[in-house]
Amino acid sequence: MQVKDIIRKVKQIEIRTKRKSESALMGQYHSALKGQGMTFSEVRTYQFGDEIRRIDWNKTARFQEPFVKVMEEERELTIMLMVDISASMNYGTAYALKREFVAEICASLGFSASNNNDKVGLILYSDKIHKVIPPKKGRQHVLSIISQILSADYTPSSSNLDGALQFIMNVLKKKSFVFVFSDFEDEFSDKILKIAAQKHAVLALRIFDQKDQQIPDIGYALFRDAETGKQFWVNTSNSRWRYEYAEKQKIKFKTVQETIENASAGFLNIQTGTSYVQPLIRYFQHKK
């Protein structure tokens, strides 16, 4: 993608997402997430109605009367956008390429965060970490993030989510909100994801194209694995083969969803070209 095309795409995405990020999405996102980052403020005597889990047991034992910890919300949040740039994300048959759709969703989240005076950062990964943009505030910073997602080199490689999550846990000391964008074609460790979800709030967004799940009848066709480069011929006219392929895809991604949710992370299935605002709002409302 040439520079002028990237600039044009960024402007289109900014215009398209402005209304979404500044209305419906913004309020839901912040009200759902702001209460999750809490810092210690003071200790005071227990009052009727205080939460039991806030009791400071050491001070209670020392003074022989109940004391509770008073917590204060951290008003400033940190949003990290983790984007899979393996080659399968540079694909699309209808509305847009997966990466273009991801850029649009990231723009909505980024502009919402900017309007709430929160920081936004970006990690581009495939088999390794390709680029890291530290969290910062501001609309221009969000535009730079969108540009990086669109202009990244989506080369054939597998997706190493485990390595990306390990990196996040090493560099982000403060509890942050991590949005993982991928088609989840490659395997990952549920143990590492569970540790990451304990340290941060993690939402996995599976971005898929309509043809990822069902292959049309187009006769004999030469298929190429976008991530490995392997090529093979398939008779797509074989209805049995098409049915078995679709069923395997359903089972595979149902397992992916169950694995992610069992690790205490959030999960959303979003097809390119469909509304992503409502699924995000429902998720934030559930989180709240």
Domains of the chain with CATH codes = 3-33+75-287 (3.40.50.410), 38-73 (no CATH)
Over residues 186-207, the pLDDT tens digits come to 889 999 999 999 999 999 999 9
Burial class of residue 105 in the structure, from the number of CB atoms within 10 Å of its CB (0-12 exposed, 13-18 middle, 19+ buried): buried
Q: Which long-range contacts (CB under 8 A, 24 or more apart) does 16-20 make?
A: 16/104, 17/104, 17/107, 17/108, 17/111, 18/111, 20/108, 20/277
Element spanning 110, H or E: helix 98-115
- Of the chain, the percentage scoring pLDDT greater than 70 comes to 81
Cα(165)–Cα(72) distance, integer angstroms = 28
Residues present in the chain in total = 288
* pLDDT band at residue 16 using 50, 70 and 90 as cut-offs: low
How sure is the predictor about 168, in pLDDT bands with cuts at 50, 70 and 90? Answer: very high
Residues 226-249: tens digit of each pLDDT: 666 778 788 878 888 888 877 888
* pLDDT of amino acid 39: 57
Name the amino acid, one letter, at 109: L
Are the CB atoms for 31 and 284 separated by under 8 Å? yes
Write down the pTM of the prediction: 0.78
